[in-house]
Every structure is written in C-alpha cells, then in structure tokens.
Structure 1
Amino acid sequence: MSRLRIQQLGFCLIALLLITGCSKVEYLKVDSPAYLRVFNNLNYEKTLDGKDQEVPFLAMLIDPVMDEKGMPVSTAILGDFLDQRAPYAPPYPSHVGNSTSVNNPEYPGKEDVLVAPVLNGFDLSSWAQVPSGKHRIVFMFRPKNTVPFFNLEPRLKTKVLIDTIIVLQEKEVYTLNVLQKDYQSKKNGVLLRHENFYKLPLSDSLVYVNFYNLSAKGYWEADYIEKGGNIGSKGALGDGIRDRMNVFYSLYRKTSTESMLSNYSGKYLGEIKRNTGEPDVSPYYSFPLFADPLSNGIHTNIWQRLDLLAPGMDPYSKPYSGIDKTTDNNWAPISCFSNGTVPLDYIRGDENYVLLPNMIVNIHSGIYNPRSFATVNTIEIVNGKAYLTTIQRKYAAPIYK
C-alpha cells in the first residue's frame, strides 16, 4: 500500500474519531421557565433508629409517565443519582468537571441542563430552568450504583419515597428540600421555598445570612446515641437544637479565637424556629464585609462564629464549656472559617462546634488576588447537621499581568 494511501486512511480514521468521540449537547429551549434547585436532606445515620430505612439515594422524576403497574417508563425531567447533600453548596456549580462520580449532591448540580440567568446581579447558575406551572414530582429510591435509573431492572424502580404536586411561577426562584418530617414515624416530605433574595435591595458592603431549622419533629428529644448524634464531626449540634433558638455572632481576625473584633463579640443576630411545614422565607440578617478596621477595603480575612442558644441564654451566660458535646440541646456553636475543611483542632478555643466555610468569598478578581466579596447565605439545620448555601453576585474576571 502506498504511503499516500496510508496517510489518507490515517486522516479518515482521525476524522471518524473526532466525529464519533465528541458529542454536542442539544439544549431544548424552556418556554416560560421557573428556576429550581433541589437538595436531598435525608441525612439519617445507620443506627438502631434508622436500620430499617432505605439508603437515601434518589432519582427525581418531574412529570413522569407510568405504566399500568405504576412503574415509570419515561419522564419530562430526570434528576438521577441524587445523593445526600454536601455541607456546602457554593455560589457556582463547581461539581461540574470536578468529580468522576455520578453521585450528585444537588439538582441540577452535575446535570447538563439549561440553568437560570443572572437576576439583579446574582449568578443563579446553580438553579435549573424548568417549565413553570403545575407539575407532578416523584422521588424514588434507587440502588447506589452507576446504572442510569431507566436502565435499572424493573424490580429496582418501584420504591416511591414521595409523590406530590408542585406549582412554579414563571421566572421565580425556588429551592426544594426533601426532608424527614417526623423522626419517630419516619414520615418524609418536601418543602418548596419561594426565594426572594434577588428582589431585595441588598448592599454590596454587607454579608447576609438567614436561618432555617428543617429538623424532623422529635429529633432533638430522641436518644443521643441511638440517633447517631455522636457520629462524625457534628459537635454539640449532633444532639439537635430546640424548636426555638436565638442566634448570636462574633467576628474574628485570622485563625484565632483570641483575635475577636471588639465591636462584634456575641452580638444578637436573630431567631431560628423549627419549621418543616410552611415554606416561609426567613428574614435576612447582616454584618459588614469590612468590619475589621485593619482591612484595606479590598481584602479581609475575618471569619464568623455563630452561637445557637436557647431563649434566656447568651454566649457569656451559658452553663456549658467548649468541650461539652451534649448541652441539653441549649447550645450549638458553628464556625464559618476558611473552606470549611480545616481540621477542627486548628482553631483554638471550643472543640464542640460544627465547621462550615467562610461566608465571605475571597477570589481573584480584576487586578486583585484575592478580593473579598459580600454574599447572601442560608444556613439550614437538619437533624444534627448544618448546611451552608452561598449566593454571590457576578464579579469582574481576573486580570493576569
């Protein structure tokens, strides 16, 4: 065979590989969209209290088509491999491209779908576009493997967790939480929250946060060991908090509890109430981005400490110390520091706190590396665990010299 013929065959093979190896994602336009983000909050531990419960690994079906036996055969929207949520939901869908696992800590998360646009300066690319209107939504238990839901054996597509109806308004933003609503009966459900942060007159110089206690009824009264309150790094929060608590905050410089900002020590912030039934949006509270007088107005290294305390207590009158993992459900501290993965013994002081990322985002923007940005945050308490969702406005791209 001539060299020219071999070269021609080689070019053909390369072209064939390029054509077959690269597939184009075809996005279908969503008419009159609403914007939806979904979290799986079924975070129960494998203990005596939870030994008979299904592994909380889900498939979400919006407007499914069922056969005569009630088994789904297709669906308008599929959120597959929906795993238990991660402690931190960042401002951008950073799960995409950063993981080799099919497991998805939220929807849309890793799903390759149309996402929400920028609204009032906020980047909502962590919300999926879905048609507005009335929808049937079904959550089903599925095996924890890598087989797509509709490729599973029929016997593995029969366990319905939740089957309900939701209504979404056009161009509105929603967060849907899958929850355990009653700890003793193990009743589950969903809570659809109609967000409003993008409609509020929020300042770029303030950091905002609101709070939800989405814990199941009866969780905090249950036995500490049997519910798994001692499993993992839950601190005093593992035992649960009472249905009504007050939130105090303190701001610190750098890494030490010895560098508290004097004007931001144990300040009352607001209230948190247990609620898994009403989709009310909690009020937002705020603190200054550049509260530290030593900051230069571009970057700050302050971090936040939150104290959840029963009514009648404050950070200086509580009858507990920082080594107490059980506090009669009266006190649970949370430290929002660095990226939320620093070892718990790195910060001097209390040992019974939960660690979450800093609510202030520090990132390369423009000529500054790093630059500090105020954010809008939600902290949700669910059965002894804390979850932080951070939302950020669009910022200038980095300039490299």
Structure 2
Amino acid sequence: MKNQRIKIYIALLSICALCIIGCTKVEYTEIKEPAYLRVFNNLNYVQTLGSKDDKVPYFCMLINPTMDATGEITGAEVIGDFFDKRDAYAPPYPSHIGNSTSLDNPEYPGKRNVLVAPMLNGFDLSSWAQVPSGSLRIVFAYRPKNTVPFLQLESHLKKDILIDTVINLGSKEVYTLHLLQKDFVTKEHGLLLREENFHKLPLSDSLVYVNFYNMSAKGFVEADASLKDGDYRLRSFMGGIKEEMNIFLSLYEDQGVLSHMAPTVPGYKGKYMTRVVRNNSSSAVAPYVSFPLWASSKTNGIQTTMWQRFDFFVPGMDITNNPIHSTTSNTEGNWAVVNCLLNGKVNLTSPDNGTMLPNMLVNVHSGIHNPRTFATVNTLEVVNGRIYMTTIQRKFAPPIY
C-alpha cells in the first residue's frame, strides 16, 4: 500500500512538471505610444539559369539595432528573424501561430508571439504588431536558411546588410511596410511604408471593399522569361502586367460551380471597377472600390456562395473585345486574371488562365448561423509575376452551439 502511494505521488509530480514546462508564460514588454506595423517581404524572385547569382531573399529584420565596438549587431528593440518570402494570402488573423513546425515566417509579426494591435473601429488588427512610434532605424540583414537565431550566428554571417534606413511612425497609426525590388535590371531594393486608413473610413458592413497596387520592379514585364519564375500556378500573371491596367469585376453566383463560364450576378459580368498604375515608391493609399455583399439573387441575407473574378486589361481591352485565348498564359502583360473562390487552392474546370486566391467573403460559424457570410476589406498587390491578397475583417459574434 505504501509503495502504491509513493508511485501515485511520483506520477502526480511528473504531471505537475509537464504542466510547468508546457505552460511557459510569455513576458511582453509594454510599449508606450505604440505604432502598429505589419511587414511583408516581396522579394519573390527565384534562382533560375538567368538569376542564379541572386542571393536567397531570407532575412532578419531589426528595428533600432544595437552594435558593439566593431559594428557587429548584438541585439535590437524589435527582431523579426527567419523572415521569408510572403505567402499569396495574408488572412485577417495571425493564422501562423501554433500551426507551423517551420521557423520560416512569411510576414511580421506572423508567427512571432508579440504584443499586437488592439481592435480599431471594430477591425481585428491582431496581424499587426505593436512597435515603438517615432523615428526608427530599421535593418534587413541577409541570413543563412538554417535554424540558428540571427544573434547566435557567426560574426561574418551577420554583416550582409540589404537595407539600413530610418522610418517614421506615428503613435496609434496603422502601417504596412513592404520590402521590394525597385528595379529589375539594376537589382535596386528599397522599402515602401504605407499608412493605412481603412479603420478611419465610414465603411459599410454590407459592402465588400478592395483596393489595388502594382508594386512591380521597373523593367520586370519587359525582361526575358528565363529570368522569371516559371511556376505554372501564376498563369497569366507570370510575365507581369503593363504599367497601366484597367480592372474589371465579375461576380459568380455559386462557388460550388468551378467555372468562369458559370452564371454571373446580373450587372456584374466584366464591370469596370478602377485602374492601377505601376508605382513602387508612393506611400499613398489607393482608393477602395466596393461591391454588395448580398448582390446575388440566391442569397438569403445570412449566407452567400458568391465568388469574384478580376480581369486586368491594358486600356482599350475588356472582356467584350479580348483577342487572347482563355488558356494563354503569355499575354505579354496585356491581360491577367485572378479568381477568388473557396480557399484559393482549387482549379477551375473550365479552360482558364487565371491564378487563384481565396474568396473575399468570409464564411464562419457566428451566433446561431453556421455558416454566416461577412464582408471584408481587401488589398490586391501585384509584385512582378505574382499577385497577393491581404484581408481585414471586423470582429463577429462567437458561435452559439
């Protein structure tokens, strides 16, 4: 009996030890007068026969770094290590935390367990990190693609600096920072800091908003195809788009029908929305355009299966006079298509040259409805041969079971 009690006691001690180890408390440093920052690495080039000498765009980001007497980086106020190329889709919540076994971080804060921005005007800003406001020195240093933290690397591996500059952030303002290739020929790189305004606008819950940017490098669209990413999933965006493009929207009734020849919502087949001009230096926020959340005749006001297709055409072309075949990927930058449906990881059954991104409409269990559809605020950004989507949404009621 005594031995049995000892065994039980030892077992309880083991369980307690595991609980202590598994429940490590994260200590956050309070930031007075913070700014809210989200950072993307848009250096999406790959090693091809024509670009085999380009360095792998894998970094450590350091804000207000500290140096020793020899100039070696010894620390920083903010560190974003293992900073990899961005994903095609940036969701409205930090989906990377706890869901990945890789150290590679497709954005900052991304997987970093840091203080995040509060809700502003009802918008969930948990994908933005709190950082100091004011004048900040920011450094992007190349690092090897291994599992060693940047500050523990050998000295000679911490001295390859791509960007070392100063940015200015206002207190309680929301910023998106882009690391970009400015010129495809000269390989010039730089930053683009955008002060966002979506949380300050009188946006309707019954409209879906989107704005557009072309932040491609100068000379990319004219460059030889051998220098570009040959990923077939990029389809008509692979070669890039021209300097100025008009954007047209088609809304489809049912994302259960994977065809761009399926029925569209009346009034939304190739509807002109806006234009986008290549610019990777201006910090101005592009105006938002919108479409109704409940545009489909099949909606019940709670849930809709509608999906979106955006056609980018050079001025003078549209869906009525497009001479390019629907399966042609090499459009010489005159036409590109993105389809937004389901999780963006499906293919259409119809012959199509459109790349894929997730649906802009969020369908989740909320209240008594499973699912319920919510409108969002979106940004579509073209960078060289890729198109990226960032989605922001308001907080919604938790599910009732």
TM-score clears 0.5: yes
In the other structure, the counterpart of 2:242 is 242
In the other structure, the counterpart of 2:378 is 377
**CA–CA distance in structure 2, aligned partners of residues 205 and 21 of structure 1:** 43
Which stretch has the larger CA shift, 312-321 or 388-397? 312-321
2:138 partner amino acid: I
Which stretch has the larger CA shift, 219-228 or 86-95? 219-228
Q: Displacement, 1:227?
A: 2.1
1:119 partner amino acid: L
In the other structure, the counterpart of 2:335 is 331
Scaled by the length of structure 2, what TM-score is found? 0.96
In the other structure, the counterpart of 1:202 is 203
Q: Deviations over 1:97-147 (max 9, x none)?
A: 111111111100110000001100100000000111110000011111111
In the other structure, the counterpart of 1:51 is 52
**CA–CA distance in structure 1, aligned partners of residues 6 and 336 of structure 2:** 75
In the alignment, structure 2 segments of 5+ residues that lack a partner are: none
Q: Deviations over 1:147-193 (max 9, x none)?
A: 11111122211111111100000000000000000000111111000
Q: Displacement, 1:5?
A: 4.8
Q: Displacement, 1:226?
A: 2.7
Structure-to-structure mapping, 1:346-357, within 5 angstroms: 346-350=348-352, 352-357=353-358
Quickly say closer, same or farther: Cα 1:50–1:347, change in 2 above 3 A.
same
In the other structure, the counterpart of 2:26 is 25
**CA–CA distance in structure 2, aligned partners of residues 49 and 301 of structure 1:** 43
**CA–CA distance in structure 2, aligned partners of residues 8 and 293 of structure 1:** 66
In the other structure, the counterpart of 2:109 is 108
Root mean square deviation, CA, Å: 1.5
Q: Which of 261, 265, 269 does residue 265 from structure 1 map onto?
A: 269
Secondary structure of 1:155's counterpart equals: helix
1:275 partner amino acid: N
Q: Deviations over 1:184-210 (max 9, x none)?
A: 011111100000000000011100000
Q: Which of 297, 316, 322 does residue 318 from structure 1 map onto?
A: 322
Q: Displacement, 1:11?
A: 4.0
Quickly say closer, same or farther: Cα 1:14–1:74, change in 2 above 3 A.
same
Quickly say closer, same or farther: Cα 1:363–1:12, change in 2 above 3 A.
closer
Identity of aligned residues (%): 56
Q: Displacement, 1:267?
A: 0.5
**CA–CA distance in structure 1, aligned partners of residues 33 and 135 of structure 2:** 12
In the other structure, the counterpart of 1:227 is 228
In the other structure, the counterpart of 2:364 is 363
Q: Deviations over 1:4-59 (max 9, x none)?
A: 55554554444444334432111111100110000000000211332111111111
In the other structure, the counterpart of 1:387 is 388
Secondary structure of 1:105's counterpart equals: coil
Q: Which of 272, 291, 296 does residue 292 from structure 1 map onto?
A: 296
**CA–CA distance in structure 1, aligned partners of residues 39 and 70 of structure 2:** 28
Q: Deviations over 1:364-398 (max 9, x none)?
A: 11111111100000000001101000000000001
**CA–CA distance in structure 2, aligned partners of residues 274 and 69 of structure 1:** 41
In the other structure, the counterpart of 2:168 is 167
Secondary structure of 1:198's counterpart equals: helix
**CA–CA distance in structure 2, aligned partners of residues 30 and 348 of structure 1:** 52
In the other structure, the counterpart of 1:186 is 187
**CA–CA distance in structure 2, aligned partners of residues 98 and 53 of structure 1:** 31
Quickly say closer, same or farther: Cα 1:14–1:357, change in 2 above 3 A.
closer
The alignment of Structure 1 onto Structure 2 pairs a total of residues equal to 396
Secondary structure of 2:205's counterpart equals: coil
**CA–CA distance in structure 2, aligned partners of residues 42 and 119 of structure 1:** 30
Would the aligned equivalents of 1:48 and 1:227 in 2 still touch at CA under 8 Å?
Answer: no
Scaled by the length of structure 1, what TM-score is found? 0.96
Secondary structure of 2:262's counterpart equals: helix
In the other structure, the counterpart of 2:177 is 176
Secondary structure of 1:156's counterpart equals: helix
**CA–CA distance in structure 2, aligned partners of residues 112 and 7 of structure 1:** 36
In the alignment, structure 1 segments of 5+ residues that lack a partner are: none
1:42 partner amino acid: L
Secondary structure of 2:50's counterpart equals: helix
Secondary structure of 1:182's counterpart equals: coil
In the other structure, the counterpart of 1:309 is 313
Would the aligned equivalents of 2:208 and 2:376 in 1 still touch at CA under 8 Å?
Answer: yes
Quickly say closer, same or farther: Cα 1:9–1:356, change in 2 above 3 A.
closer
**CA–CA distance in structure 2, aligned partners of residues 103 and 57 of structure 1:** 9
In the other structure, the counterpart of 2:158 is 157
Q: Is the aligned partner of 1:36 residue 2:37?
A: yes
**CA–CA distance in structure 2, aligned partners of residues 336 and 61 of structure 1:** 34
Would the aligned equivalents of 2:50 and 2:226 in 1 still touch at CA under 8 Å?
Answer: no
In the other structure, the counterpart of 1:282 is 286
Secondary structure of 2:227's counterpart equals: coil
1:207 partner amino acid: V
